[in-house]
Every structure is written in C-alpha cells, then in structure tokens.
Amino acid sequence: MQKIYLSEDEIPRQWYNLAVDLPGTVNPPLGQDGQPISPDMLAAVFPMNLIEQEVTTERWVDIPDGVLDLLYRWRPSPLHRAVHLEKALDTPAKIFYKNESVSPAGSHKPNTAVAQAWYNKEFGIKRLTTETGAGQWGSALSYACGMLGLECKVFMVRVSFDQKPFRKVLMQTWGGNCVASPSTETAVGREILEQMPDTPGSLGIAISEAIEQAVGDETGQTRYSLGSVLNHVMLHQTIIGLEAKKQLEKAGIKKVDTVIGCAGGGSNFAGLAFPFAYDKINGDNIEIIPVEPASCPTLTMTDFSYDHGDVAKMTPMLPMHSLGHKFIPAPIHAGGLRYHGMAPLVSHAVEAGLMTPMALKQLECYEAAMMFSRTEGLIVAPETSHAVAATIRKALEAKEEGKEKVIIFNLSGHGLMDLNGYEKFLAGELQNIALSAQDVEESRKISLEGHPIPKI
C-alpha cells in the first residue's frame, strides 16, 4: 500500500486544543505593562471570534460547516507510505508522510487561511493584512480571501520576494496585493529602510508592517492575520494529525514511534504532532521531533523567555523560545523557517519534555530532499527538507538498531516555486550556516533584557 485516503465524510469535525492537556501552567501573553492582556486588547488586530478561539479552554473545538466546505476543496489529504525511500535506505523502518502539498497553494498553510478568512468574514471584516516569509502563507491567505471575496495585503520578506518572484504572481492571480518588506508604505518600514537600506528583511519586520496597516484603518474593516505561532493557528492545523491517525489505523498501524515536522513558527509541526502528543500525555511512548535550521536555532539553543513576536513590539510578549525579536536570520532558502520565535504551545511542550527538538544544517537538508525526489518523486519545499533529513536520520538509526520503527513526517509543502534553491544546491553554491552560542547570546541580550521569564 503506497497511499491511504479518507473519504470526505471521514474528515475530522473538531480541532484538538493541546493547551488543555499540557502539563504545568500555560503562561498568558503580557502587555507593555507586564500584566496579562485581556481579550479586548487584541480587538483592533483580530476579530473577536478568533480571539475567543485563541484563549479557549475547550479540548475539542467544532469546525464550522462553512470552513469544512472550504477544506473539502483538497482535504482529506493523502497519507503516503514512503516505500521507495525505505528501499533506498534499506531500513526496516516504516516511513509515512502526510502530503500537505496537495492544497491549492501547495502547503499546509491554507488549512488555517480558510478558517481565519471565514471567521473574519463572519465578523464583518472586508480586508486582511499579513506577512509572509517564503511566500507560502501569503499565497494561502490570498487564495482564502479570493474564495471568500475579501481583500488581502501581503508584506513579503525582501529576500524571499527576490528569490521567489512567481509567488507574487500567484498571490496576484488570487487577487492578493504583495509588496516587499521592509516597504515604504508603513512608518516601521520607512524607519528600517533608513537605518538598513540593504536589509534582507525578516518575518519580525513584515509582521510589524502588516499590523500597522491593519490597526491604522480607521473604518475598522481591516484585521491582521498570522500564519503561524498563535494558539488558534495551531488549533486549525491539528486536522493534519487527526486525519493521519485515522489513516494509520486504516493501514493497520497500531503504534507510532516517531513523529517529525519542520518548525518555523511551529504550525505544520504542531498540526501533525499535537494529536500524537495527546497520546503521549496519556501514556504512549512516542518520540516527537520539531526540526529547525541551525541558522535559526530557536528551540535547540535558546531558553524559554517572554518576547515580542515582531521587531516593532506591536505584538504582546509571548512565552516562547526566542532568538530575540530584533534577530535577522541568514538568508537561507527555507524562508519559512526564518523566524526568531516559536509557538508558545510548542515551546511549552518542549519545556515539559514532550518533544525533543533537532537543528540541521542546510546542505544535509538539500541532500535529503534530493534523495526524496529521486525515490518518492516529490520535490519538497526547502522548509520540508528539514523534516525529510530528520526522517532519514531516524530511519538509518532504526536500521542500526535493527528495529522496525514506525516514523511519520509532515510533508508541509512542495518546492516547485522554490527551484532557485535547488538550482544553487545543484551548482554547489550553497553553504552551511550555523549560529554559535555566542551569536545567540548576543542576539538575545539586545532584545530580551528586562523581559520576564515564564515558568510552567
């Protein structure tokens, strides 16, 4: 069996909220005064129905029919057994991957984009602003807004804007409007351009620009939408893991040993992993691995801290592993993994020992992606290549141990819009970039001085 499908009527009808089951205390976001913020303090940025979801204490949250209707356009997504990769590795491990590249925009991002656009429309919002790194999220939100008749404005991190020109065309085709960030359209962007005219940009800068535009609309009809990090985004993505569990059951798999996802802000990883974390909390022995780039080692090299989500400190302080909100990551090709922080729920789960992060360098990831394209045939996104490389490591470990382990990873997106990274790799022009402990310490010192420390 190479693929396991679910029919539309087998789609999960509720999302799973890990916050309810995490051991310890979940730390609240803090305002400028260091006090927990109240939901109404976010009202200028997000619609109240999503704010309610952000702080919900329900374990299971119903997926509205309107959102299901949008998800049916490509979901349930297939689960594949990577038989060809297994053979090439000569491993006794059974490798599965959840294929999120089948969505219209080519990644997991539309899972939350359609939900967020739908809730905003329900609330009477006409226009959404957002940031995008690799362009996947901007495409996904442009698509979702296009389907629902909302306007969409995307601030795309400069380095990706230059590396991936077709992403902009994709956004425009769905009706979105995309500009390079930092831009001259916002006060934050203009200030940064004055100080650093050649900056490659960062997600932290692009988020500041998008929030500034949303809260600056005096008609009150614009809100901001975030593609990762926040609790409600993790929630929407859990459909991935919930479907995968049903599919594994269909494939006769009784026990999963290892769950793997690449982690930028944490959403595709959380989407696959949180439903398995539920099993782990309830006694199953599962290794759960978020994989990040060594050039942006948020989980593996930083302590749990309070920090802002953006460079201009427009967001509240979130409890997360962070390299510091002023950190500007190296221009690696996995643009979606260039974020200084990590989702509070993923950070908390790592602190609680539920998950064991791994950091990998760019070349190993591209080598793994090459092996995957020449065995399974799919060309994965540079972000996803981190999950592929970690999977190969684990499958080879199983071979050494002679154990028939079950490994599942999230194929978060295809790389057909990211071919210039592959081109550079094939030409031998890519290098490994890794931060040293000293780099990390210096970066955190600049951004985090005086911030409170969360405790779980």
User: Where does this chain bind ligand PLP (CB under 6 A)?
Assistant: 107, 133-134, 136-137, 228, 262-269, 336-337, 381, 383-384, 412-413
CA pair distance 106, 86, nearest whole angstrom: 25
Least distance (Å) from ligand PLP to the CB of residue 318? 14
> How near is the Cβ of 399 to ligand PLP at its closest, in Å?
27
The smaller minimum CB distance to ligand PLP, of residues 146 and 336, is found at 336
If the CB atoms of residues 94 and 329 are measured against ligand PLP, the closer one turns out to be 329
Q: Which helix (H) or strand (E) holds 375?
A: helix 362-375
The residue among 139 and 213 lying less far from ligand PLP, judged by its C-beta, is 139
**CB of residue 336 to ligand PLP, shortest distance in Å:** 2
Q: Helices 203-215 and 187-195 meet at what angle, rounded to 10? A: 150
Q: How far is the CB of 219 from ligand PLP (least distance, A)?
A: 30
The angle that helices 384-401 and 362-375 make with each other, rounded to 10 degrees, is 80
Distance CA 333, CA 135 (A): 12
For residue 336, give the DSSP letter: G
Q: Provide the angle, in degrees to the nearest 10, between the axes of the packed helices 136-148 and 110-122.
A: 40
The Cα-based distances of 49 to 57, 62, 132 in angstroms read: 14, 13, 23
DSSP, residue by residue, 50-98: HHHHHT---SEEEPPHHHHHHHTTTPSPPEEE-HHHHHHHT-S-EEEEE
Distance of CA 68 to the CA centre of its chain: 21
Contact 99/411 with Cβ under 8 angstroms?
A: yes
Q: Of 86 and 383, which CB lies nearer to ligand PLP in the complex structure?
A: 383
Smaller CB distance to ligand PLP: residue 272 or 395?
272
Question: Measured from the CB atom, is 130 or 305 closer to ligand PLP?
Answer: 130
* Shortest separation between residue 235's beta carbon and ligand PLP, angstroms: 13
Tokens standing for residue 51? 């704010």
CB of 113 to ligand PLP, least distance (A): 12
The helix (H) or strand (E) run that includes residue 112 is helix 110-122
Select the residue whose beta carbon is closest to ligand PLP and give its number.
336
Least separation in angstroms between residue 400's CB and ligand PLP is 29
Sign of CA dihedral 302, 352, 38, 55: positive
Those residues with Cβ within 8 angstroms of residue 306's Cβ, 6 or more apart along the chain or in another chain: 27, 30, 317, 318, 319, 320, 448, 451, 452, 453, 454
Nearer to ligand PLP among residue 94 and residue 348 (C-beta): 348
To ligand PLP, the closest distance from the beta carbon of 330 in angstroms equals 16
**Could you tell me which residues are beta bridge partners of residue 94?**
406
Looking at this protein, which amino acid is placed at residue 139? S
> At its nearest, how many Å lie between ligand PLP and the CB of residue 347?
12
Q: Give the residue with the Cβ less far from ligand PLP, 202 or 268.
A: 268
Q: Which is nearer to ligand PLP, 294 or 398 (CB)?
A: 294
